[in-house]
A and B are shown apart, each in its own frame.
Chain A
Amino acid sequence: MPLRNAHPSVRAGGAGRTDEALPPPAERRSPRPVRGSRTERLAPYVLIAPTALIILALRLYPLLLGVNFSFTGDGERNGTAVGVDNYRELFGDPLFRTALGNVGLLVLLLPVAVAIPGLLATFIYLRVPGHRLYRSVYFFPAVLSPVIVGAIFNLLLAFDGPLNAALSRAGVSPVDWLGDPDVAMFAVVGVHVWATFGMALVVFLAGFATLDSALLDAARVDGASLLRVIWHVIIPRLTRTIQFVFVTTMIGMLTSMFGLLYVMTSGGPEGSTYLPEYYIWIQQGQMNRPALASAASTVLFVIMLVVGLLQITLLQRAGRDD
């Protein structure tokens, strides 16, 4: 291959018209279409083709296919157009409505899920005694699979498990964490936060690394309280990071709790811990209703699109502030 390229002088001469001082062989600086042999010109396409093919065929095309599916029927009506029947059925299904309600609950809990790692990151940044250790300990559950985390918490949250044992020692009556429809969803979200806050913590710390420490020192010299430092120095300087954590935490809640739900509650008790992703899986894999599942997928995608667009708007606003 290098042999084909053994005429750099010719190419340099060609490029020399635009730039006489340097003889750059690089296509990058040339405003004209790339010169050189055919193989060389095709090289970028050869390098990028497999990736483009895979992403188009196995990511974007299925998305269109899925939206299309959602307007066709299941079972006997397989393949025929049924209009919005699937969506009508979907929103009439109490399980799916529970799933949407739980999404609402996640949105409400989102600030807590962001504030916890944010506060911890602040303390670590301010060099609490032992901050290095905390950082690596807190991050560690984030590398465990939700399935493993779920299995472990099945043991811990069992009615006769360690948590209830500890509570009873403190004089609190035991709670049926995973068996009580009013409690189970909170228990699962709590475990999800336990398992993922380290991820957000690391993102926050990366944001802190860009902070000008002179500002903090100045605030300290002025005798500002910690709350004031957080409110007036840290939050305004870290808006981008905070927004990023908000969005990734939300997306994480919408798309990476399947393992926990599958292992800890299987959507129960009484369907109280359904989320859209779990609903999709049940309809596709267990109920053999792929078209209905596709409709649920489309709804989930719209929810995520709203989250994503919100991020872009917020980021642009923050960009203007800068």
Chain B
Amino acid sequence: MSRVRPGPWLAALPMSLLALATLYPLLFTANVAMKTRRDYVLDRFALVDTLRGQNLETAWTSVGMGRYFVNSLIVVTSSVLLLLLLGSMAGFALSRLRFRGSSLLYLTFLAGLFVPFQVIMVPLARIMADAALIDTYPGLVLVYVAQFLPFTVFLLTSYYRTIPQEVIDAARIDGNSVYGVYRRIMLPLGRPALLSVGILNALFCWNDVLMSLVMMPSADHRTLMVGVTSLRGQYSDDIPTFASGVLIAALPVLVVYLFLQRQIADGVAAGSTKG
């Protein structure tokens, strides 16, 4: 046989070790989260034999992770819905309508892709403060939308380009206005792309810490990830509760990953081949 064959087999061992190294940190954390403080001090590695929800409950209620969780849910849901609405409108216009200035706008949006938040953090915080939007949900939503809109518009524009012009022409002949085409053709046909981009955006917003830290200074409005960072100082001597807080923040993402892995990977891949 050819000599390419043994390579993959030899690679299988380091690759499974790496897979183990990928999973171990989270498993370790989950195990610690189930321990009592005393068990942890005595032996942090021993596997727990019962699933204790005590620490998770403490983290959820008295640490305030529950409150932060709800904050995150509100902000992320609004951001993603707004992103999909605005992104699909702009994507439809850029891909399937001809109008003066469309390529200039396209380039402008492209430029928006290359402006990371860190670079505009200071002036953006000032603009938001002037508009009395700092420390408010709409303010953070607006910042998230501005951050991820260029990427959203690009993916949706390139997806809409794959919808045949004939479909749109036919809808026009049937008497649809431009808005009718958007609502009756583009939105339904764009569903796979909207799902993929929506999940990615949800992950980005859910996982963000810097924007939330800058835009939501008060403890009441903390999002979940900022909540996780505050755990460290408060619970440095209560590691099981700390680990429980981390687990609460990670669980929704893990669930989403288990069920929607395909869409997430497809979204990333689409971003790479079309970018």
- Give the B-binding residues of A (Cβ under 8 A): 1-2, 4-6, 8, 24-28, 30, 33-34, 39-40, 43-45, 47-48, 50-52, 54-63, 65-66, 69, 120, 123, 126-130, 133-141, 143-149, 151-156, 162, 165, 194, 198-199, 202-203, 205-207, 210, 219-226, 229, 241, 244-245, 248, 251, 254-255, 258-259, 262-263, 276-277, 280-281, 284-285, 290, 293-294, 297-298, 300-301, 304-305, 308
A298: B residues at CB distance < 8 A: 119
B105–A205 touching, CB < 8 Å: no
Asked if B46 lies at the interface with its beta carbon under 8 angstroms from chain A, I say no
B195 at the interface (CB under 8 A from A): no
A10 to chain B, nearest CB (A): 13
On whether the beta carbons of B121 and A54 are closer than 8 Å, the reply is no
Query: In the complex, what's the smallest C-beta–C-beta distance from A134 to chain B, in angstroms?
Result: 6
New contact pairs (18) apart from A52-B105, A148-B253, A151-B228, CB-CB < 8 Å:
A1-B177, A40-B177, A47-B93, A59-B112, A62-B127, A65-B120, A66-B120, A138-B18, A144-B253, A147-B225, A152-B25, A154-B232, A155-B28, A155-B239, A248-B272, A262-B209, A293-B121, A293-B122
The answer for the CA separation of A277 and B228 in the assembled complex, in Å, is 20
For residues 65 through 98 of chain B, which have their beta carbon under 8 Å from a beta carbon of chain A?
86-87, 89-90, 92-94, 96-98
Do A51 and B90 touch across chains, with their CB atoms under 8 A apart? yes
Q: Determine the distance from Cα of A65 to Cα of B145 in the docked complex, in whole angstroms.
A: 20
Asked whether any CB of chain A lies closer than 8 Å to the CB of B188, the reply is no
Task: Report B113-143 residues with CB < 8 Å from chain A CB.
Answer: 114-127, 142-143
What 1/0 mask marks residues of chain B from 168 to 200 whose CB sits below 8 Å from any chain A CB?
110011011111101000000000000000000
B2 and A276 contacting across the interface, CB-CB below 8 Å? no
Contact (Cβ within 8 A) B109 A304: no
Residues of B within 8 A of A162 (CB): 28, 44-45
**Which of B9, B87, B232 interacts with A128 by CB under 8 Å?**
B9
Task: Return B111 CB to nearest CB of chain A, in Å.
Answer: 6
A66 to B116, CA, bound (A): 13
Q: Which 9 A-B pairs have the closest CB atoms?
A: A145-B207, A206-B269, A58-B146, A43-B178, A65-B123, A226-B7, A62-B120, A51-B90, A44-B99
B123 to A276, Cβ gap below 8 A? no
Q: Which residues of A contact B26 (CB under 8 A)?
A: 152
- Asked if A43 and B175 sit within 8 Å, CB to CB, the answer is no
Q: Which of A6, A27, A48, A220 has the most chain B CB atoms inside 10 A of its CB?
A: A48
Q: Known: A43-B178, A43-B179, A143-B256. Is A59-B268 also a contact (CB below 8 A)? A: no
Complex CA distance for A128 and B203, rounded to whole angstroms: 30
Q: Are A28 and B165 in contact (CB under 8 A)?
A: yes
Q: Are B177 and A4 in contact (CB under 8 A)?
A: yes
Contact partner, B123, options A128, A205, A294, Cβ 8 Å: A294
Interface residues of B in 1-52 (CB under 8 A from A): 2-4, 7-9, 11-12, 15-16, 18-19, 21-23, 25-26, 28-29, 32, 44-45
Q: How far is the CA of A144 from the CA of B112 in the complex (A)?
A: 25
A51–B108 CA distance with the chains assembled, in angstroms: 11
Residue of B nearest to A244 (CB): B272
Contact of A54 with B86 in the complex, beta carbons under 8 Å: yes
A-B contact pairs, 18 of them (CB 8 A): A2-B176, A8-B172, A54-B86, A59-B146, A59-B150, A62-B127, A69-B123, A123-B8, A143-B203, A145-B225, A148-B228, A148-B246, A155-B239, A206-B269, A225-B7, A263-B229, A277-B210, A297-B121
In the assembled complex, how far is the CB of residue A199 from the closest CB belonging to chain B, in whole angstroms? 6
Residue of B with least CB distance to A229: B4
- Point out the residues of chain B lying under 8 angstroms from A254, CB to CB: 116
* A residues in contact with B173, CB < 8 Å: 8, 25
B196 to chain A, nearest CB (A): 13
Q: Are A280 and B118 in contact (CB under 8 A)?
A: yes
Identify the closest chain B residue to A219 (Cβ): B4
CB proximity of B185 to chain A, nearest CB, Å: 13
Chain B residues whose CB sits within 8 angstroms of the CB of A229 once the complex forms: 4
For A204, the closest partner residue in chain B by CB is B272
Chain A residues contacting B56 (CB-CB under 8 Å) are none
Q: Which residues of B contact A130 (CB under 8 A)?
A: 12, 15-16
The answer on a CB contact under 8 Å between A25 and B172 is yes
